[in-house]
Every structure is written in C-alpha cells, then in structure tokens.
C-alpha cells in the first residue's frame, strides 16, 4: 500500500485534490478528521484537542486503509497537525510526533497557496499561507520526506499529481 499525504496551508485545495486523485486511481481517500471534530466540539479548541484530532485521524486512516487498493490518499495527516500545533502553540505533543515518525506517508503532495483563499469558519490564517507553505516545505526537506509541490488551478494540480504518482508506481 502506497500512502500519499496531501499537505499544505489552509484553503489550498487539499480536499479537492484528494477526492479527485482517489477517483482517478479508483481507490480510497481519508477525510480530514479535524473538520468533523471541530464541527461537533461546540467550543474553541485548545492544544490538547489536537491530540484527540490526531487520534481520530490515525483511526480513520487505519479503517479506510483496509478498503483501499494499492494507493490511499490522505486529506492531511499528522504532519499537518504537528505543524499547526507548533505554529499556533509553539510546541507539539510528543504522542503526535511519535505517531508521525511511525506513520509517515510514502509521498507527500504539498499544495501551493497560488489559488484564491476561500473563507470557512474553521480556517484561521488567510494571511499566513505563504509563511505556512515555507514551514511545510522546510519540514518535508529536513525530514527527508519524498514530496512534490503541486501548483496551478485544480486541473493543473491534478494532472501534475497524476503524472508524478505514475512515476513512482
């Protein structure tokens, strides 16, 4: 099973790309668990909630991996939670870091911030997408992760991602 994590700043097309890639390759994708958790929370979240979100994300990935064929696409993964925790709170819970070390994706697609920001009540950083993109890129480089940046409109991103994935298949 090849795991492909789609990561990047808020409102950069991660969900759209994950769905489209799963459809193209006729396999499964894992939704971002944070959306479900935060929608049901009924209060502002805290740093400790990020551990619960991470646990839910891992459980979702494990459940859906059983149904996937050869590839699975993750609409965000623990890398996103780690980076957000460090960005917002200045640190990350050791459990998240440990799980990330054991569950790193085989390939990351890093979505550029070159598309218009779409407002959403769960999004917090419309003016920091460039800064966050650079944090993602540096983190992926420093960790030695296999990654590729995707840019352009949705069709360009999809075509670029498909071409890159086909190279590794």
Q: What is the pLDDT of residues 27-59, one digit of tens each?
A: 999 999 999 999 999 899 999 999 999 999 999
What's the pLDDT score for residue 57?
A: 97
Q: Of 88, 97, 73, give the one whose Cα is nearest residue 158.
A: 73
How confident is the model over 80-102, as a mean pLDDT?
Answer: 97
Please state, in angstroms and rounded to a whole number, the distance separating the CA atoms of residues 107 and 5. 6
What's the pLDDT score for residue 20?
A: 98
The mean predicted confidence, pLDDT, of the chain is 96
What's the pLDDT score for residue 123?
A: 87
Which class would CATH give 2-168? Answer: alpha beta
Residues near 11 by beta carbon (within 8 Å), at least 6 away in sequence: 115, 117, 118, 120, 123, 126, 129
Query: Residue 90 — very low, low, confident or very high, per pLDDT cuts 50/70/90?
Result: very high
Q: In the structure encoding, which two tokens stand for residue 99, read together?
A: 């799980």
Please state, in angstroms and rounded to a whole number, the distance separating the CA atoms of residues 27 and 48. 33
């Amino acid at each position: 099973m090849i795991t492909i994590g789609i990561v990047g700043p808020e409102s950069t097309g991660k969900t759209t790309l994950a769905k489209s890639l799963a459809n193209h390759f006729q396999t499964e994708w894992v939704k971002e668990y944070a959306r479900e958790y935060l929608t049901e929370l009924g209060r502002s979240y805290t740093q400790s909630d990020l551990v619960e979100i991470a646990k839910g994300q891992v459980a979702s990935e494990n459940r859906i991996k059983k149904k996937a064929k050869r590839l699975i696409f993750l609409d965000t993964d623990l890398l996103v939670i780690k980076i957000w925790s460090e960005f917002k709170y200045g640190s990350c819970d050791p459990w998240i870091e440990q799980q990330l070390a054991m569950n790193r994706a085989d390939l990351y697609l890093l979505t550029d911030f070159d598309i218009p920001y779409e407002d959403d009540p769960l999004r917090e950083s419309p003016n920091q997408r460039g800064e966050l993109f650079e944090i993602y890129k540096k983190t992926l480089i420093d960790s030695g992760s296999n990654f590729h940046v995707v840019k352009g409109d949705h069709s360009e991103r999809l075509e670029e991602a498909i071409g890159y994935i086909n190279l590794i298949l």
